[in-house]
Amino acid sequence: MEIKHRIASALLAVLMAALVSGNAAAKDTLPSWNDGPAKKAILEFVAAVTNKNGKDYVAPADRIATFDNDGTLWVEYPMYTQVLFAFDRVKKLAAQHPEWKTQQPFKALLEGDMKTVGASGMKGLMEIVMATHSGMTAAEFENTVSDWLATHKQPKFKRLYTESVYQPQLELLAYLRANGFKTFIVSGGGIAFMRAISQKTYGIPPQQVVGSSIVTKFQIKDGKPVLVRMPKIDFVNDKAGKPVGIYQHIGRRPILAFGNSDSDMQMIEYAMAGKGRRLGLFVHHTDGTREYAYDRKSHVGTLDKALDQADARGWIIVDMKKDWKDVFPAK
Amino acid sequence: MEIKHRIASALLAVLMAALVSGNAAAKDTLPSWNDGPAKKAILEFVAAVTNKNGKDYVAPADRIATFDNDGTLWVEYPMYTQVLFAFDRVKKLAAQHPEWKTQQPFKALLEGDMKTVGASGMKGLMEIVMATHSGMTAAEFENTVSDWLATHKQPKFKRLYTESVYQPQLELLAYLRANGFKTFIVSGGGIAFMRAISQKTYGIPPQQVVGSSIVTKFQIKDGKPVLVRMPKIDFVNDKAGKPVGIYQHIGRRPILAFGNSDSDMQMIEYAMAGKGRRLGLFVHHTDGTREYAYDRKSHVGTLDKALDQADARGWIIVDMKKDWKDVFPAK
């Protein structure tokens, strides 16, 4: 298509969107959300910040929405997908690492002794992550992640991990973007791990993914410039790290932030503390049948303090069982 | 004319040209670029990567263009704007720092003894930068930078620093965006310093600015969550740091990279090493009358190795004197 046609059709699309925006769009936009306080809060918020004549209007450039990933956009229970990836990589790489036969926590992991792996704590987990996430080029790592996620299924739902995503959230992301928002992932997960699938899974391009990172070095390898992933933590984008990650990557304060655990409190607190209308939300995993039920005492995605403080601070608790008509996309 | 109006009219010119005729767009899009090999290379490159039926077609999502800032988008000679800002802030803050009267390099700077300041080297400069760039909230720093840039002029051109920007580059940025590119700044300068003015000056939003950063901490101050800038370097986005900054912030390899000094070589090398058609360019400051003439032996923006290697590596050297019809926007 010639450039004039491309521009003309882009203009037409914008005009059409402007013509249909407003009430009609708001009615059918979130079909997997049941009517209730959470859906109402979302629709009212978006209506308010996009109403040019209203007191809560926010210019499109400042319509920044940030979403946690594990437990907010995709399943995190009973264990974070990226940790399962790391465990599996240890098994795949074991032949090249005979020393792991005697070295903990690798020995225990290879023997299936998960109790000992668990007892190795954060230190042990970091050793496993470093052994599986560094020592290769950025491109090699991305391919490994893509291949793994294209072939491994979540055991309870028998779906690929990239299909174990929440349909209501896919609708919400699309709805926000249709209303001029920029949608970002802000997760404790690895930035490069999520970027391998963010566009295809969520329609979120790599540059809108903020996550934890490891030190990376530019090197010339066989005459070609490459980025090599080093066995050293660069930044942990979790808890109080989330507002910092947002500052370093986005440089603007979100007006909407969505999480599911106490680790998201600082992100939501930071978003809500800005001027003007704000929306902060948490997914509460209340559905042991369709997904999982866990909160205060869970080993992943602990939701405890945020539940206690939600009312007083105006945070919306999204009750998965009540608020979501569907949990996963239709197969 | 205000800068944002200038950007709007540059964009309008591109859109109008595109609407009138596809071919005409190529003719009138870069009016401040003289016909010559550089302009030809740019137009041919953009035509090739946007031609859906051509072998060099690149999907819009992958049309990433990265630009250095100092000396590539705005004037850097005789000294980087951010360093001048830091020097000026030391003078403004001196009353609150009586210890600076005896402490180098602050003492020399306050006495106007620039030779001693220079002799303090990178260590001294870093002390000055840390003293003026940390110890405040992110919002306070942004306001200070915005205020300073709104009131200080480049001495030779008697223009605000934000008006000492290159008109041909504003046109190029607008032209690339009109052709589906995402434009990014990738600079050794401070990420927060540039973000204060990037949207208004270049039409580049904060989240598309990659730069050097200092450690920032999330804190509750007077009951409000704030981000506090700490006196510690987080990341130096220069030389081999540029491809790393691109990886961490953008997560995609640029297909076009534009710099002006040897510090941009790794960024351009990295961009050019990707598959498919690529374009790497350097501004060569050859115009001592309209701007400045400096290259191999300059204390800022040294362009030496890149000049030697350009031909062999297919890098385009943009000769400011020959290739640019205008240097600055009309006042």
Whether residues A138 and B247 touch (CB distance < 8 A) is answered with yes
**Confidence grade of residue B331 (pLDDT, cut at 50, 70, 90):** confident
Using the CB atoms, write b or e for A176-215: b if 16+ within 10 Å: beebbbbbbbbbbbbbbbbbbbbbebbebbbbbbbbbbbb
Q: Per-residue pLDDT tens for B119-148? A: 999 999 999 999 999 999 999 999 999 999
The pLDDT, as a whole number, for residue A203 is 98
| Predicted local confidence at residue A18, as pLDDT | 45
- A265 pLDDT more than 70: yes
Q: Does B19 touch chain A (CB under 8 A)?
A: yes
Write down the pLDDT at residue B28: 72
Cβ distance A218 to B266 less than 8 Å, yes or no, reads: yes
CB pairs under 8 A between A and B: 104
Q: Please calculate the CA angle B256-B260-B265 and round it to the nearest 5 degrees.
A: 65
Q: How far apart are CA A62 and CA A181, in angstroms?
A: 8
User: Does residue B26 carry a pLDDT above 60?
Assistant: no
DSSP 8-state class, residue B34:
P
Percent of chain B residues past pLDDT 90, beyond the cut:
91
pLDDT value at residue B24:
44
Using the predicted structure, report yes or no on whether residue B272 has a pLDDT greater than 50: yes
User: Hey, which bits of chain B come out as E strands?
Assistant: 64-67, 153-154, 159-160, 182-190, 209-221, 224-235, 256-259, 279-284, 316-319
CB contact under 8 Å between B250 and A192, yes or no, is: no
pLDDT band at B15, cuts 50/70/90? low
B273 Cβ neighbours under 8 A, 6+ residues apart: A224, A225, B253
How far off is chain B from A283, nearest CA to CA, in Å? Answer: 22
Note the pLDDT tens digit of each residue in A94-138.
999 999 999 999 999 999 999 999 999 999 999 999 999 999 999
Q: Is the pLDDT of residue A156 over 90?
A: yes
The stretch A192-211 carries a mean pLDDT of 98
pLDDT digits (tens, 9 = 90+) for B318-329: 999 999 999 999
Dist. CA B241–CA B212, nearest whole Å: 9
Which residues does B112 contact at the CB level (< 8 Å), separation at least 6?
A: none
Cα separation of A177 and B256, whole Å? Answer: 27
pLDDT digits (tens, 9 = 90+) for B163-219: 999 999 999 999 999 999 999 999 999 999 999 999 999 999 999 999 999 999 999
Angle at B300 (CA atoms; ends B296, B301), nearest 5 degrees: 60
> Residue B138: its chain A contacts at CB < 8 A?
247
| Burial track B174-205 (b if 16+ CB lie within 10 A, e otherwise) | bbbbbbbbbbbbbbbbbbbbbbbbbbbbbbbb
**In angstroms, how far apart are the furthest CA atoms of chain A?**
68
User: What does the pLDDT look like over B71-113, one tens digit per residue?
Assistant: 999 999 999 999 999 999 999 999 999 999 999 999 999 999 9
User: A16 pLDDT exceeds 60?
Assistant: no
Nearest Cβ partner for B243 among A1, A8, A225: A225
Q: What is the pLDDT of residues B37-62, one digit of tens each?
A: 999 999 999 999 999 999 999 999 99
* pLDDT tens digit sequence for A207-227: 999 999 999 999 999 999 999
Task: Give the other-Cβ count within 10 Å of A106's Cβ.
Answer: 23
Task: Give dist(CA B105, CA B83) in Å, integer.
Answer: 14
Q: Is pLDDT above 60 for B244? A: yes
Query: Quick one: pLDDT band at residue A22, thresholds 50, 70, 90?
Result: very low
Read off the amino acid at residue A176: L
Contact B276, B255 (CB under 8 A): yes
Q: What is the pTM of this model?
A: 0.91
Using CB atoms, pick whichever of A195, A216, A243 lies closest to residue B218. A243
Lowest mean pLDDT among A195-199, B24-28, B310-314: B24-28
d(CA B123, CA B119): 10
B248/A216 CB distance under 8 A: yes
Q: What is the mean pLDDT of residues A131-151?
A: 97
Give the per-residue pLDDT at B14: 55
Would you call A218 an interface residue with chain B, using a CB distance cutoff of 8 Å? yes
What pLDDT score does A331 carry? 84
- DSSP-derived pairing of the beta strands B224-235 and B209-221: antiparallel
Q: What angle do CA A303, A304, A305 make, to 5 degrees?
A: 120
Residue in the structure block whose two tokens are 């939003």: B205
Is residue A27 predicted with pLDDT exceeding 80?
no
Neighbours of B29 (CB within 10 A): 23
Complex-level ipTM: 0.91
Q: What is the CA angle A187-A191-A195, rounded to 5?
A: 105
Q: A10 burial class (0-12, 13-18, 19+ CB within 10 angstroms)?
A: exposed
User: B243 CB contacts (<8 Å, ≥6 apart)?
Assistant: A218, A225, A227, B266, B267, B269, B270
- Put simply, the answer to whether A195 touches B266 (Cβ < 8 Å) is no
Mean pLDDT of A17-28: 49
For residues B174 and B46, what is the distance between their CA atoms, to the nearest angstrom? 12
Looking at the predicted structure, is the pLDDT value of residue A17 above 60? no
Integer Cα distance of B257 and B73 in angstroms: 12
Q: Specify the pLDDT at position A50.
A: 98
Q: Per-residue pLDDT for A52 more than 60?
A: yes
Name the residue with higher pLDDT: A331 or B158.
B158
- Alpha-carbon Rg for chain A, nearest whole angstrom, is 21
Q: Does the beta-carbon distance from A8 to B20 stay under 8 Å?
A: no
Average pLDDT taken over every residue of chain A: 93
Comparing alpha-carbon positions, the chain B residue that sits nearest to A226 is B270
Chain B contact probe: residue of A221, A247, A272, A313 with most B CBs at under 10 A? A247
Cα A221 from Cα B24, distance rounded (Å):
44
- List Cβ neighbours of B272 (8 Å cut-off, separation of 6 or more): B257, B278, B280, B313, B314, B315
For residue B262, give the nearest of B285, B235, B239 by alpha carbon: B239
Sequence-distant (6+) residues with CB within 8 A of A289 are none
pLDDT tops 50 at residue A26: no
To which residue do tokens 């993914």 refer?
A: A209
User: Helix (H, G, I), strand (E, B), or coil: what is residue A221?
Assistant: strand
Q: How far apart are CA A278 and CA B271, in angstroms?
A: 39
Of B138, B217, B243, the CB nearest to A227: B243
The pLDDT value given to residue A72: 98
pLDDT at position A25: 46
Min Cα distance B227 → chain A (Å) is: 7
Pairing of the two strands A159-160 and A153-154: antiparallel
